[in-house]
A = this chain, B = another copy of it.
Amino acid sequence: MMQEMSPDLIRTFAALSDPVRMATIARLAEGPAAVGELAEPFSLSPAGFSKHLQVLQAAGLVTKKLDGRRHICSLQPEPLKAAYDWLGFYQNFWSGTLDHLEAFLESDQGNQDSDKKTGL
């Protein structure tokens, strides 16, 4: 078995690997906001912040809608969920007494959606 490692997931992790972008996501989780409001906490030029926003949009983490001359940004949950699920696969690895996933992968739980060979 092998976990999916889509370009989308890669882009999501890349988008998350920056403090400005992580903080922006945290802020947007509290509700939509205009670009200027989002940029305020950072000592960045507007153009510099705009680029971070582009990275977040390219990853599908943020969408924008226009409200007059302001661009209102909203957080999109799907990519976060996908990243969460990818990492969640390794839950057994860190949460249990297992040193690695072997035991899990050979368990009923680990086999339930992969090796349905019992019926063949």
Contact = CB atoms under 8 A, between A and B. Distances in A.
A107 B100 CA distance: 37
- Give chain A's interface residue range (CB within 8 Å of chain B): 35 or more
Interface in A67-120: 74-75, 77-78, 80-81, 83-84, 87-91, 93-95, 100-102, 105
Interface in A1-19: 2-3, 5, 9-11, 13-14, 16-19
Contact of A77 (B2, B11, B83, B90): B90
A64 to B, nearest CB: 15
Give 4 closest A-B pairs by Cβ, nearest first: A77-B94, A14-B17, A13-B17, A13-B16
9 contacts: A5-B19, A5-B26, A14-B17, A16-B17, A31-B100, A32-B100, A74-B100, A80-B90, A84-B90
